[in-house]
Amino acid sequence: MELFGNLGLGFSVALAGTNILYCLVGVILGTLIGVLPGIGPVATIAMLLPATFVLPPVSALIMLAGIYYGAQYGGSTTAILVNLPGEVSSVVTCLDGYQMARQGNAGKALAIAALGSFFAGSVATFLIAAFAPPLAELALKFGPADYFSLMVLGLIAAVVLAHGSLIKAVAMIVLGLLIGLIGTDVNSGVARYTFGMPELIDGVGIGPIAMGVFGFGEIIRNLDAGGTKREIFTRRVTGLMPTWSDVKQATPAIIRGTMLGSFLGILPGGGPVLGSFSAYTLEKKLSKDPSRFGKGAIEGVAAPESANNAAAQTSFIPLLTLGIPSNPVMALMIGAMIIHGIQPGPQIMTANPELFWGMIASMWVGNLLLVVLNLPMIGIWVKLLTVPYRFLYPAILIFCCIGVYSISNAWMDVLLAAGFGFVGYLFGKLDCEAAPLLLGFVLGPMMEENLRRALLLSRGDPAVFVTRPISATLLVLSVALVAIVLAPAVRRKREEAFVEES
């Protein structure tokens, strides 16, 4: 039972004194930013990257991962109590969670969300432990052409899952790829698109882009929406324990949500948002009485909350086995690994087993911490939500600015981030979703490198992408994905799904 031996190693790392402390810090921070609308895990992780320089790599990655899945827990609290999604992935939780709260069942809704998330987190941890090693083994057989096709598949999946127009999402990816190429070309040493600025020779950092587009752009958009009025349940949250019949009703939904979320999280381009949306739709379809949904159905909270947590965790699988990020947070995790001198990819498991298994085990530990901590701390989170936005956003700004400066001690990065803040605001106004851009940005240099190598090996013959079996399979999958999305029936459904729930 190698699996248990590996998990044992993982737990010995995750439970070591300082690591469990950083895990705790991570999940608390994650919950905090999950609760607060207007700041997400992308900006937070980018902000904290420099603060992790002083930590050993394992502790740093455990903490950053904790922020990510902690945010999924926190998001549900805001959704249920305030009817505002703290995170995008909890948009659907608002529908039934808030109704439950209005009917006096806030405690039950919160408890089911937390327990469902814990169950999902545990299953997802096990799935990562079970499926990562064989996948990593497969990944070792990948040549440059295969990697290129895999990235194509990932980017296409990202497009399919984007909310708005398909063609705009494709354009955002291409723009991201191009921005990723800024800086010195590794093969020829030519400085590309630097406009003579020495600061750009190493390329644009992921910090300024993530912070500018996701942090600053979002803040400005919130400001022009005006002081958002919030109706908060300041009444004491009571009756935390769900009754037996609640549990019986929610359990199948939790299991289905977990399965669906885990699967969607593994897909490149997938993640918590898609997981929660699909899980909600599935529950509504399967329900004997769909009209209960939107009026406080407990399944409507249980399924999406389990799904988003499961997906948040399984999205680590492509990162840890292939070195390919499936969403913007994973892109930042790649950045974090590189900063700590770890090359993401299939070799992590053999080169750094204690890091790999420690991180996986820490996810289960973190989920346990979240359940234990979250329910008693709800009072604090509620109080936090009463802080007016005019106090909150300067605080977020100053943390972000210090963070973006410290990544490489460059004041130019702060100015770049401001520039990307404008771009992010513009994207919002033009209905262009930013997540595909960030994915393209991270994959740009990797794609160029693998394309180059693949074509160099084949002496310029593009047939190499269809003659290699792995590459051909991946490309067929990509084409199938595009075909499915463009099929008229699915297309209508997809548009409906996003309209109905956004």
432 in contact with other proteins (CB under 8 A): yes
Interactions with other proteins, residue window 46-65 (CB under 8 A): 50-51, 54
> Contacting other proteins (CB under 8 A), which of 190, 463, 489, 499?
190
- Segment near other proteins (CB under 8 A); pick from 102-110, 170-178, 235-243, 284-292: 170-178
**Chain Cα centroid distance, residue 224:** 26
The helix (H) or strand (E) run that includes residue 183 is strand 183-184
137 in contact with other proteins (CB under 8 A): no
Q: Please give, one letter per residue, the 3-state secondary structure of 330-380.
A: HHHHHHHHHHCCCCCCCCHHHHCHHHHHHHHHHHHHHHHHHHHHHHHHHHH
339 in contact with other proteins (CB under 8 A): no
25 in contact with other proteins (CB under 8 A): no
462 in contact with other proteins (CB under 8 A): yes
Amino acid at 5: G
Q: Report the alpha-carbon distance of residue 291 to residue 140 in Å, rounded.
A: 50
If we measure between CA atoms, which residue out of 90, 97, 110 comes closest to residue 41?
A: 90
Coil vs helix vs strand at 265:
helix
- DSSP alpha helix (H) spans, 140-197: 144-161, 166-180
Q: Report the alpha-carbon distance of residue 108 to residue 498 in Å, rounded.
A: 28
Q: Please count the CA atoms within 13 angstroms of the CA of 205 that sit on its side-chain side.
A: 28
- Paired tokens of 171: 């354009």
Interactions with other proteins, residue window 250-279 (CB under 8 A): none
Smaller CB separation from other proteins, 27 or 182 = 182
Beta-bridge mates of residue 183: 192
Q: Please count the CA atoms within 13 angstroms of the CA of 57 that sit on its side-chain side.
A: 18
Q: How far is the CB of 188 from other proteins (least distance, A)?
A: 5
**Chain Cα centroid distance, residue 473:** 26
Q: Report the alpha-carbon distance of residue 212 to residue 418 in Å, rounded.
A: 6
- Segment near other proteins (CB under 8 A); pick from 29-37, 280-288, 365-373, 394-402: 394-402
> Contacting other proteins (CB under 8 A), which of 163, 192, 292, 340?
192
> Contacting other proteins (CB under 8 A), which of 422, 470, 485, 501?
422
Smaller CB separation from other proteins, 168 or 292 = 168
- Segment near other proteins (CB under 8 A); pick from 301-309, 368-376, 422-430, 468-476: 422-430
Q: How far is the CB of 412 from other proteins (least distance, A)?
A: 8
489 in contact with other proteins (CB under 8 A): no
177 in contact with other proteins (CB under 8 A): yes
Which residues make up the interface to other proteins (CB under 8 A)? 50-51, 54, 165, 167-168, 170-171, 174-175, 177-178, 181, 185, 187-188, 190, 192-193, 216, 219-220, 223-224, 226-227, 389-391, 393-395, 397-399, 401-402, 405-406, 409, 411-415, 417-418, 421-422, 425-426, 429-432, 447-448, 451-452, 455-456, 458-460, 462
